[in-house]
Structure 1
Amino acid sequence: MAAYSFGWCEVGGASAAASGGKGVRQALAVLGAEAVGAPARAGVPAAVAVELLHTFSLVHDDIMDGDTARRGRATAWKAYGTGPAVLAGDALFALAVETLADTGHGPAAVRLTARALGDLVRGQADDLLFAERPWAGPGRVRPAEYRAMAEHKTGALLGCALGLGALLGGAPAAAVDALDRAGRHVGIAFQVVDDVLGIWGDPAVTGKPVHADLRERKKTYPVLVALDAPGLAQLLETGDRPAEAAALIEEAGGRTAAVTEARRHLDAAQASLDEVPLETAALHELRRLLDFLVRRDL
């Protein structure tokens, strides 16, 4: 089941070409080590651990969200059943902890990871609760709440990847903290960009139909900052006129505000990198990667 979740095999074990993901977290872990002057191999255990944790979170997220497909094929729970998929996710989590415990920085690495996982769980819980909250009135989701959710759900593991790489590379606490903060800011920016693409993105690039997030009535950043637009809350309540809702959100400044927010957090991530001395070549590569992650198709 774990191999299936990574895209390495089909149900039953037959070999398959790895569908994989972007490899972002692994790259951040290795660059985190190189940025503090360590060889790339110092960051490999961090890269392995964060990818195990990321896959664990996806397996469980798919169950909670009821998603039946990921990367063009059935999700683990759909292929194997809910109970077995939960156990597969738990096994991935346990293997990640074991991977870190076996390094020369085991206690500190596990503490950093535990903090990130606590935040990830909190972010996922908030995301689930947002779906139950109203579109209008005092109980509606505010942009500040969304930013906190995005930092926890998406940014915590990106920050953990960078921080763990630096930690295993022998960096002082100040460098580990600065890299962790940079990753968290990038996580917010990355999530907000995903929100923009989820409404206005090219289906050939995103793999989802245009206005997909509006059809699914997701409370995304462009929507939340535009909710005061007359009639928008009523449109979102039904989700059956997504093109009209998208036009209203854009007219109310939701798209522009989201792009501005993403770039603001990218700038904050770059500022965090400037707080501590880092190796020039690795820092250059890291800046390029962070810029690519945030700007994508904006």
Structure 2
Amino acid sequence: MSAPVPPDGRHVLDRCRALVRPALREAVGRTHPWVGEMAAYSFGWCEVGGAPADACGGKGVRQALAVLGAEAAGAKGSVAVPGAVAVELVHAFSLLHDDIMDGDATRRRRPTVWKAYGTGPAVLAGDALFALAVETLAEAPAGPRAVRLLSQALQDLVRGQADDLLFATRPWRGAERVRPREYRRMAEHKTGALLGCAAALGALLGGAPATTVSALDRAGRHLGIAFQVVDDLLGIWGDPAVTGKPVHGDLRERKKTYPVLAALDSPAAGHLCALLESAADPDAAAGLIEELGGRSAGLAEARRQVRAADAALSEVPLRAGAVAELRSLLDFLVRRDL
């Protein structure tokens, strides 16, 4: 008898998006029409002015984790839909505000909402999505506990974003430079908290015990660190045709990413510091980062975090089929064109 074919991560994302999409569209439709248009634009559903579009609106990782969290707990994925909608709305809200804070003019090969509609309207749209997320979750079964989980994740998200902004003000060398361990903590908060919350919400809405909810939250947080480190690797060495970013784009923007920080731990990092401080030659900086072990350290860190996520999934009894899909999703997200 042949071995069963493992689930495909891309298909898992497609299945979960199809389950959640109608409720997500219905929720956005409850907002003010202008705000709803900006939200729809951010999801890739329309152009500026409201004309229908079929642009990339993101992978839908968080909504997939919510659905799989419920299924792993033995419930139907549909019970997690309010949680999936809530985390997707919060993620969209955070991206709208992040793009303003970072001054990013494009996202997914289109103008960002603040560039397309203006800064004030984009802030308003983000606020509306946040309020809509809380309302959606509060109306779900186990609403008070679910809202508490979401609010805790949002506190961590804010901590992570604050640390990320402050990292930009710190020097490249000396006692005040950013260390890889600080970066891991920032990534867990900024990216991992909402991923963990998504999986935990699914389990909670699926009636899972607290130990299961906690284990899925930890798995998502580890995934978040891995996901962020892989993004960092792609930001330096990724194929622009795939990533939509220019070659060595993160170095040109002088971002303190994990491979850079790991390379700066090398005793021979003096020349790299000078290159980073001057921002004169990103191509040379990328080569030196790789020579000093930054690229290999990033790959090793991503793999460590995936193993930690996998270990968290093994700590509690979960439905085997859903766990297989969770693991396929971990693998798909971390192996992105590396």
> TM-score, normalization: structure 2?
0.87
Return 79-88 or 104-113, whichever deviates more. 79-88
Matches within 5 A, 1:265-276: 265-276=305-316
**In structure 2, C-alpha distance between the alignment counterparts of 1:79 and 1:204, rounded to whole Å:** 23
2:332 alignment counterpart: 292
**In structure 1, C-alpha distance between the alignment counterparts of 2:336 and 2:69, rounded to whole Å:** 22
Describe the SS at the equivalent of 2:51: coil
1:93 alignment counterpart: 130
1:152 alignment counterpart: 189
Q: Which amino acid aligns with 2:169?
A: E
**In structure 2, C-alpha distance between the alignment counterparts of 1:49 and 1:93, rounded to whole Å:** 8
1:173 alignment counterpart: 210
Q: Which amino acid aligns with 1:230?
A: G
2:64 is the counterpart of 1:27:
yes
Deviations 1:228-258 (A, max 9, x none): 4231111011222111111111111111111
Matches within 5 A, 1:21-60: 21-60=58-97
2:271 alignment counterpart: 231
Deviations 1:17-74 (A, max 9, x none): 2421111111111000000000010111111111100000000001101111111211
Residue 236 of structure 2 contacts residue 247 of structure 2 at CA under 8 Å; is this kept in 1?
Answer: yes
Residue 160 of structure 2 contacts residue 189 of structure 2 at CA under 8 Å; is this kept in 1?
Answer: yes
1:120 alignment counterpart: 157
Describe the SS at the equivalent of 1:93: helix
Describe the SS at the equivalent of 1:225: helix
2:16 alignment counterpart: none
Equivalenced residue count is 298
State the Cα RMSD in Å. 0.9
Identity across matched positions, percent: 76
**In structure 2, C-alpha distance between the alignment counterparts of 1:72 and 1:260, rounded to whole Å:** 30
2:51 alignment counterpart: 14
Return 269-278 or 210-219, whichever deviates more. 210-219
> How many Å apart are 1:297 and its aligned residue?
2.1
**In structure 2, C-alpha distance between the alignment counterparts of 1:174 and 1:270, rounded to whole Å:** 16
Deviations 1:88-134 (A, max 9, x none): 10000000001110011101000000010000011011111111111
Deviations 1:193-232 (A, max 9, x none): 1111111111222111221111111100010011142311
Return 171-180 or 224-233, whichever deviates more. 224-233
**In structure 2, C-alpha distance between the alignment counterparts of 1:249 and 1:17, rounded to whole Å:** 38
Residue 109 of structure 2 contacts residue 244 of structure 2 at CA under 8 Å; is this kept in 1?
Answer: no
2:254 is the counterpart of 1:214:
no
Give the unaligned 5+ runs of structure 1: none
**In structure 1, C-alpha distance between the alignment counterparts of 2:76 and 2:297, rounded to whole Å:** 40
**In structure 2, C-alpha distance between the alignment counterparts of 1:89 and 1:64, rounded to whole Å:** 13
Q: Which amino acid aligns with 1:263?
A: R
Residue 108 of structure 2 contacts residue 244 of structure 2 at CA under 8 Å; is this kept in 1?
Answer: no
Q: Which amino acid aligns with 2:113?
A: A
**In structure 1, C-alpha distance between the alignment counterparts of 2:335 and 2:51, rounded to whole Å:** 38
Q: Which amino acid aligns with 1:117?
A: L
Question: Cα 1:203–1:18, aligned 2, differ >3 Å: closer, same or farther?
Answer: closer
**In structure 2, C-alpha distance between the alignment counterparts of 1:97 and 1:288, rounded to whole Å:** 30
Describe the SS at the equivalent of 1:231: helix
2:251 is the counterpart of 1:198:
no
Describe the SS at the equivalent of 1:233: helix
1:109 alignment counterpart: 146
Give the unaligned 5+ runs of structure 2: 1-37
**In structure 1, C-alpha distance between the alignment counterparts of 2:121 and 2:234, rounded to whole Å:** 33
**In structure 2, C-alpha distance between the alignment counterparts of 1:158 and 1:289, rounded to whole Å:** 12
Residue 156 of structure 2 contacts residue 189 of structure 2 at CA under 8 Å; is this kept in 1?
Answer: yes
> Which of 277, 283, 289 is 2:323 aligned to?
283
**In structure 1, C-alpha distance between the alignment counterparts of 2:301 and 2:254, rounded to whole Å:** 21
2:226 is the counterpart of 1:186:
no
**In structure 1, C-alpha distance between the alignment counterparts of 2:291 and 2:254, rounded to whole Å:** 19
1:164 alignment counterpart: 201
> TM-score, normalization: structure 1?
0.98
